[in-house]
Amino acid sequence: MTEPTKDQKIWQVVAAIPPGCVASYGQVADMAGLGRQARYIGKALGKLPDGHAIPWYRVIRSNGQIAFPIGSEAFEVQAQSLREEGVVVIDGRISMKQFQWRP
């Protein structure tokens, strides 16, 4: 059996984030065994194949902020997806204290 790629490791971690929870880019990097490569997480999520079921929208900045510009289509999709799972989004921010995934 072959070792998962760096991207596949990231996708596995993100797939494990339960509904109603969020994780930071840094948290995902750490859990995927990538140390301080938080900036790579967004790139890996951008490579997700069409038709995937990975809940990319559950990954946000460590300060609770959605990374996309407020008002952009991607921002609206992410915020709405989180709200549908019961996550409170106010001014593009989520309370990490309340909603951060703690496996």
Alpha carbon of residue 2 to chain centroid: 25
Return the CATH number at 80: 1.10.10.10
46 in any annotated domain: yes
Q: What is the pTM of this model?
A: 0.94
For 46-63, the pLDDT digits (tens) are 999 999 999 999 999 999
- Compute the C-alpha angle 99/9/100, nearest 5°: 5
For 11-50, the pLDDT digits (tens) are 999 999 999 999 999 999 999 999 999 999 999 999 999 9
For residue 90, give its domain range.
6-99
55 in any annotated domain: yes
Q: Count how many domains the chain has.
A: 1
35 in any annotated domain: yes
Structure tokens given for 23: 């994780």
1 in any annotated domain: no
Strand, helix or coil for residue 16: helix
